[in-house]
């Protein structure tokens, strides 16, 4: 009897951290115990993008989507669902808007508006089984290129597709390959995959590598064929042990199957791939720094030109692309440039993967067509703002990006509209903020990150960013002046113009963009010493409501600096000049008489 | 594993995986294909729902009809087990009662292929889960 059900269990980093492997063990035990191993089969897959509610278990064919599954739930899943066809209600996902459980993934708003091209195999196949990848057309595109197309034809197809780099800048991929192919013909060349992924909160590339490593290997080989390289290198941060493991397994299997190595598919084309490990510095994601790091030198950027296509790894022509960029290649070859370019906007084709995070109900990894609006992402896929609070802004592009606000909710998202709005696509971090977030503090957070990650090679970035951070700290401490706000703008402009690499050139973006969109908040911090989100501790003011105060003296006795005065049974008062905003009185008062403004 | 030496061999590996992957493929595009739910509560099983389900899967496969056959719990028609719900894309679901193998064959040939209604349709009084 053929297997009639598959139990897909997420084996991504998020779900593994919450013990999905034990769920697998228990499910298998139960299948054996009930003599069902011929009827149902457990398959470990990559990330479903719903990591926050992991471990995820999905039942095929009915698409039932179970969240937060514990090893102890295995018995009920097998006995109720697999044997009797009854869903385990308590494990189903509950929709935030209706509060009702959702029967299957097809009815989850989170998935409805998604279009999965790069993530097509994540959460679908067993990434450690090359045959499952082959079943989903893995290596078919490579085969097609090697047997039916010339390198120039492949490059042409990629150019026609309109694919742009997903690593940040959005450079046209086909054009990049063409330049590399024409560069120093006949010499040793290299294909590099940038899997450094240093943005805080980003995990798009990690999930792709964990869930579908073969697509990346295949795309790198296709690139090698196009530009005339037979060696590929994947630069991956050492903090990604599971992605590294999956890549190692995939490379080994591809070699065994003859899909990497010598004479691939009998066409005479050779291609091999090696891994290189990064120590996790953000700047090493910049392509020149990345190349230096792979060469064993210090991971510092150098001036471009020369571009890697002219002189890259070991001074040889090198093509660097991001993981997600590569993930799109095989599909474009298989389905054609016309199909791909029918998706998206005029100048941004295809889809983009985002890591949706922050104050939103459905946190996770999503892939959406270019041109979707923020409103659709936040209120449909994301299920709205947590706790019904008011939306304030979305930060895209991480530390190099900026924020979008209410007025951008209906703007179609693509490379150009984000830049026009003062932000950028970046690698795909998307952090949602609500009324409780202070925009000055957000800018300070990103600047703090930049200051830590600056390599220190050039002065505008090393000194300038530190200075920006100091001014922001001054403002959040309630010591800022209007002069400081002018200084922020001027200094930002100088850093942007004079920094050596992309890190410094984009580091003032979070400041500039919050100044543009939330000027009032900056001014309030400076002139009224007020933080409307209540985030800047130094600007908090504690008040005692004389109507509510019973004069119990508890607060006065607890205040560490003696800022509270008053007599028994009479309303107390806080001396704002003495108060150090420690919050002790607020916690002590049993009558709710103390409020924060 | 022997090396895959050419494109034809790569295709062969893909074909070899077809039976393993087709269920997942079909589930992924479930809204675009015929969906068949077989009631598998205790009374359904006792009255032969398992046999009905196996028959449906093999027969549809044999005729190359893309359909997703899945088991569900009690559909609330204990008087007419085994019950089978068929949803053709773009049409409302239809529930058939007392579907033993002969009626299952009729469902495939007359309702699914021929598009005509047959005997044994039950009133839609249940909630789909
Ligand atoms: C500071 C800095 C960090 C970067 N980090 C990454 C990264 O983590 N991953 C990435 O793919 N590209 C990163 N980039 C962009 C790369 O320099 C390069 O443009 C990209 O890998 C090219 O691939 P693509 O054309 O496919 O986007 C970074 C750039 C800068 C300036
Ligand atoms: S801009 Fe910053 S990270 Fe880039 S080279 Fe200069 S100091 Fe280093
Ligand atoms: S603890 Fe509250 S009620 Fe008591 S004196 Fe202080 S403010 Fe008034
Ligand atoms: S916040 Fe702290 S310092 Fe200020 S009045 Fe209350 S207890 Fe005193
Ligand atoms: S790691 Fe399991 S859903 Fe992302």
pLDDT for the residue numbered B125: 53
The token duo for A261 is: 């190595």
Is-contact B21 A138, C-beta < 8 A? no
Q: Please give the DSSP secondary-structure letter assigned to residue A326.
A: H
Helix H segments across A367-526? Answer: 374-375, 415-420, 439-453, 459, 465-476, 482-498, 502-506, 509-517, 519-523
Q: Which helix (H) or strand (E) holds A247?
A: helix A241-256
Distance CA A476, CA A530 (A): 9
Closest CA to A203 of A405, A363, A442, A68: A363
Q: Which residue, among A576, A571, A575, has the nearest Cα to A547 in the 3D structure?
A: A571
Q: Which CATH number applies to A540-596: 3.30.70.20, 3.30.565.10, 3.40.50.720, 3.40.50.1820? A: 3.30.70.20
Q: How many CA atoms lie within 13 A of B60 on its CB side?
A: 23
Taking an 8 Å cut-off on Cβ atoms, the answer to whether A257 and B28 are in contact is: no
Q: Where in chain A is the domain with CATH 3.30.70.20?
A: 540-596
CATH number of A439-528: 1.20.1440.230
Per-residue confidence at B128, pLDDT binned at 50, 70, 90?
very low
Strand pairing class (A5-10; A40-45): parallel
Distance, in Å, from the CA atom of A77 to the CA atom of A86, rounded to the nearest integer, reads: 9
**So what's the pLDDT on residue B124?**
62
Q: State yes or no: ipTM above 0.95.
A: no
**Any residues with CB less than 8 A from the CB of A585 and at least 6 apart, and which?**
A542, A555, A558, A559, A564, A574, A594
Question: Are A206 and A193 spatial neighbours (Cβ–Cβ below 8 Å)?
Answer: no
Question: Per-residue confidence at B127, pLDDT binned at 50, 70, 90?
Answer: very low
| Chain A closest-CA separation from residue B32 CA (Å) | 12
* Cβ neighbours for A72, distance < 8 A, ≥ 6 positions apart: A26
In angstroms, the separation between the Cα of residue A347 and the nearest Cα of chain B is 29
Around ligand 2, the residues with Cβ closer than 6 Å are A 283, 301, 454-458, 461-462, 499-501, 503-504
| Structure-block tokens of residue A176 | 């990049």
Q: Which residue, chain included where needed, has tokens 């729902």?
A: B49
Q: A259, B4: Cβ pair inside 8 Å? A: yes
HSE, side-chain direction, 13 A CA sphere, residue A528: 11
How far the first Cα of chain A sits from its last, in Å, is 69
Taking the CA of A46 as reference, the closest ligand is: 5
Rounded Cα–Cα distance for residues A303 and A322 (Å) = 20
Q: Which ligand is nearest to the CA of A549?
A: 3
Residue in B19, B26, B129 closest to A87 by CB: B129
- Which chain A residues have any C-beta within 8 angstroms of a chain B C-beta? 1-6, 8, 60-63, 84-87, 103, 106, 124, 131-132, 134-137, 139-140, 143, 147, 256-259, 265-266
Of A3, A4, A257, Cβ closest to residue B4: A257
Nearest to B7 among A1, A60, A143 (CB): A143
Parse chain B into domains and list their residue ranges: 1-25, 33-122
Angle between helices A213-227 and A140-148 (to 10 degrees): 20
- Structure tokens belonging to residue A35: 């003599």
Instruction: Quote the pLDDT of residue B129.
Output: 41
CATH superfamily of A130-338: NADH-ubiquinone oxidoreductase 51kDa subunit (3.40.50.11540)
Residue B26: closest CA among chain A residues belongs to which residue? A61
Q: In what order do the strands lie in the sheet with A40-45?
A: A40-45, A5-10, A57-60, A64-66
End-to-end distance of chain B based on CA atoms, in angstroms? 43
Nearest to B10 among A84, A132, A139 (CB): A139
Please list the alpha-helical segments (H only) found in A257-349.
287-294, 323-335, 337-341
Ligand 3 geometric centre to CA of A588 (Å) = 8
- Selected residue with higher pLDDT from B71 and A313: A313
Residues of chain B contacting residue A78, judged by C-beta atoms under 8 Å apart: none
Residue whose CA is at the smallest distance from ligand 4 atom 4: A579
Domain with CATH 3.40.30.10 in chain A: 5-111
Which chain B positions have a beta carbon within 8 Å of A108's beta carbon? none
Residue B13 CB burial class (10 angstroms; 0-12, 13-18, ≥19): middle
Q: Following CA atoms A201, A204, A208, A210 in sequence, which dihedral angle do they give, to the nearest 10 degrees?
A: 0
State the pLDDT at residue B44: 66
Both tokens assigned to A182? 């024409």
- Short-list A270, A282, A323, CA closest to A448: A282
Preferred mutation among A34, A42, A61 to probe B, highest tally of B CBs within 10 A: A61
CATH number of the structural domain A5-111: 3.40.30.10
Chain B residues close to A4, C-beta within 8 Å = 23, 53, 57, 69
Q: Is the peptide bond before B82 cis (omega within 30 degrees of 0)?
A: yes
List, chain by chain if needed, residues with CB within 6 Å of any ligand 3 atom.
A 544, 549-555, 572, 588-589, 591, 593-594
Rounded to the nearest 10 degrees, what angle do helices B18-28 and B7-16 cross at? 70
Q: Pick the ligand that lies closest to the CA of residue A592.
A: 3
Site of tokens 């009185």: A585
**Ligand 5 environment, Cβ below 6 A:** A 10, 12-15, 47-51, 54, 56
Helix (H/G/I), strand (E/B), else coil: A214: helix
Interface membership of B42 toward A (CB under 8 Å): yes
Span B9-37, pLDDT tens digits: 999 999 999 888 988 998 988 888 899 99
Q: Who has greater pLDDT, A125 or B78? A: A125
Exposure string for B31-55, b = 16+ CB within 10 A, e = fewer: eebbbbbbbbbebbbebbbbebbbb
Is the CB of residue A579 below 6 angstroms from any atom belonging to ligand 4? yes
State in words which class domain B33-122 has. alpha beta
Q: Which of A86, A132, A147 sits opposite B73 (nearest CB)?
A: A86
Q: Are the beta carbons of A143 and B20 separated by less than 8 Å?
A: no
Q: Does domain A351-434 have CATH number 3.40.50.12780?
A: no
What is d(CA A349, CA A415) in angstroms, rounded to the nearest whole number?
10
Q: Which residue of chain B is at minimal alpha-carbon distance from A103?
A: B129
Mean per-residue pLDDT of chain B: 84
> Cβ contact (<8 Å) for B23 and A85?
no
Eight-state DSSP code of residue A49: S
In whole angstroms, give the CA distance from residue A484 to residue A428. Answer: 32
Q: Residue A257: which of B3, B30, B71 has the nearest Cβ?
A: B3
Residues B13, A266: C-beta atoms closer than 8 Å: no
Q: What is the DSSP letter of A56?
A: P
d(Cα A13, Cα B109) in Å, to the nearest integer? Answer: 47
| Contact criterion met (CB below 8 Å) for A149 and A269 | no
CB B82 within 8 A of CB B48: yes
* pLDDT < 70: residue spans in chain A: 1
Which residues of chain A make contact with B28, given a CB cutoff of 8 A? 124
Taking alpha carbons only, the member of A281, A275, A309 closest to residue A294 is: A275
Instruction: Give per-residue pLDDT as tens, A293-341.
Output: 999 999 999 998 999 999 999 999 999 999 999 999 999 999 999 999 9
Query: Which of A164, A145, A65, A144 is closest to A107 using CA atoms?
Result: A65
Question: Rounded to a whole number, what is the distance in Å from the CA of B12 to chain A's nearest CA?
Answer: 10
- State whether the Cα torsion A408-A369-A502-A200 is positive or negative: positive
């Amino acid at each position: 009897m053929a297997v009639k059900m598959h139990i897909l269990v997420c084996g991504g980093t998020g779900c593994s951290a919450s013990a999905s492997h034990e769920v697998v063990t228990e499910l298998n035990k139960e299948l054996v115990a009930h003599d069902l191993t011929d009827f149902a089969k457990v398959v470990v897959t990559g990330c479903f993008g719903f990591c926050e509610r992991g471990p995820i278990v999905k039942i095929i064919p009915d698409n039932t989507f179970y969240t937060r599954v514990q090893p102890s739930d295995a018995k009920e899943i097998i006995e109720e669902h697999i044997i009797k066809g009854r869903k385990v209600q308590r494990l189903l996902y509950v929709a935030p808007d209706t509060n009702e459980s959702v029967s299957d993934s097809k009815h989850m708003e989170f998935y409805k508006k998604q279009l999965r091209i790069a993530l097509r195999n994540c959460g679908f196949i067993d990434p450690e089984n090359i045959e499952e990848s082959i079943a989903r057309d893995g290596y078919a595109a490579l085969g097609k290129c090697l047997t039916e197309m010339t390198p120039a034809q492949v490059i042409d197809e990629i150019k026609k597709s309109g694919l742009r780099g997903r690593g940040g800048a959005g450079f046209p991929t086909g054009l990049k390959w063409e330049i590399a192919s024409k560069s120093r013909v006949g010499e040793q060349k290299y294909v590099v995959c940038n899997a450094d992924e240093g943005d805080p909160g980003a995990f798009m590339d990690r999930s792709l590598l964990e869930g579908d490593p073969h697509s990346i290997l295949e795309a790198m080989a296709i690139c090698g064929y196009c530009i005339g390289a037979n060696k590929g290198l994947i630069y991956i941060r050492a903090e990604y042990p599971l992605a590294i493991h999956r890549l190692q397994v995939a490379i080994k299997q591809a070699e065994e199957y003859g899909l990497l190595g010598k004479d691939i598919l009998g066409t005479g084309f050779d291609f091999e791939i090696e891994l290189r490990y990064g120590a996790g510095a953000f700047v090493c994601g910049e392509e020149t720094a990345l190349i230096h790091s792979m060469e064993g030198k210090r991971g510092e950027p150098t001036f471009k030109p020369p571009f890697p296509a002219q002189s890259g790894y070991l001074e040889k022509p090198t093509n660097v692309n991001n993981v997600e960029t590569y993930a799109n290649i095989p599909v474009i070859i298989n389905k054609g440039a016309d199909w791909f370019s029918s998706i998206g906007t005029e100048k941004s084709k295809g889809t983009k993967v985002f890591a949706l995070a922050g104050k939103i109900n459905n946190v996770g990894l999503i892939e959406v067509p270019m041109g979707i609006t923020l409103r659709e992402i936040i209120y449909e896929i994301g299920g709205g703002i947590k706790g019904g609070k008011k939306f304030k802004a979305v930060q895209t592009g991480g530390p190099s990006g900026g924020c979008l606000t209410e007025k951008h909710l209906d703007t179609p998202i693509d490379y150009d509209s984000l830049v026009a709005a003062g932000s950028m696509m970046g690698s795909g971090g998307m952090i949602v903020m609500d009324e409780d977030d202070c925009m000055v503090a957000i800018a300070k957070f990103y600047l703090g990150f930049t200051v830590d990650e600056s390599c220190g090679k050039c002065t505008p970035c090393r000194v300038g960013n530190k200075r920006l951070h100091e001014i922001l700290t001054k403002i959040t401490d309630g010591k800022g002046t209007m002069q400081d706000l002018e200084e922020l703008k001027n200094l930002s402009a100088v850093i942007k113009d004079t920094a050596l690499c992309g890190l410094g050139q984009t580091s003032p973006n979070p400041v500039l963009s919050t100044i543009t969109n939330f000027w009032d908040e900056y001014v309030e911090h400076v002139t009224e010493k007020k933080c409307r989100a209540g985030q800047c501790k130094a600007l908090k003011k504690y008040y005692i409501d004389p109507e509510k105060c019973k004069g119990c003296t508890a607060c006065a006795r607890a205040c560490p600096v003696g800022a509270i005065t008053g007599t028994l049974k009479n309303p107390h008062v806080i001396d704002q000049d003495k108060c150090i905003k420690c919050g002790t009185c607020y916690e002590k008062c049993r009558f709710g008489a103390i409020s924060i403004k | 594993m022997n090396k895959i030496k050419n494109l034809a061999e790569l295709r062969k590996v893909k074909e070899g995986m077809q039976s393993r992957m087709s269920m997942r493929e079909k589930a992924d595009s479930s809204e675009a294909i015929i969906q068949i739910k077989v009631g598998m509560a205790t009374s359904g099983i006792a009255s032969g729902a398992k046999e009905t389900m196996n028959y449906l899967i093999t027969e549809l496969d044999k005729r190359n009809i893309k359909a997703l056959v899945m088991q569900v719990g009690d559909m609330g028609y204990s008087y007419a087990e085994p019950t089978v719900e068929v949803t053709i894309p773009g049409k409302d679901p239809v529930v058939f009662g007392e579907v033993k193998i002969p009626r299952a064959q009729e469902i495939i040939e007359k309702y699914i292929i021929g598009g005509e209604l047959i005997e044994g349709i039950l009133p839609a009084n249940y909630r789909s889960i």
